[in-house]
Structure 1
């Protein structure tokens, strides 16, 4: 993107942001800002940089990651408890094995 194109894009973003902040002037201001930002993202080679659907996907992935982390923490705690149990039983098991 040329310098003139960047300046034009920044001006469009500024106008769309101003319309977004004062929506009484234009009823389509919220979607217009998203449209301008999406168009600029595509022009810069990042077509999905501003995508509400992607934000939803990120939020869903974050929830799944948190659930997986919680489950892994529970598994680690269970393994720790089993290790303590086996460690407590090990001396008795060794004595029994030595007798045989």
Structure 2
């Protein structure tokens, strides 16, 4: 039993010439997803998409929405639960951990 573990640990720790399966690597898609404020809020869902008009008229650009503070959203009379969702997903989007699902637009 110990010899089996030694073999497994050697094969894992030693660099091998065999490539890893392709599922471990991401490839860039020939499609680009255009993300604006409506797509961003629709991607969040949970009723947040009802504030599209308000936020588009106030900010006009997704980059401005991504750096907004909670007090600015509060002044726009957005409920607390929706403010929290917007700020949470804006932070994830800035870090590249989340992207809204939307229709693919070919370049």
Q: Same fold (TM over 0.5)?
A: no
Q: TM-score, normalised by structure 1?
A: 0.26
Q: TM-score, normalised by structure 2?
A: 0.25
Greater helix proportion: 1
Question: Over alpha carbons, which structure has the higher Rg?
Answer: 1
Q: Which has the higher contact order (CA 8 A, sep 6+)?
A: 2
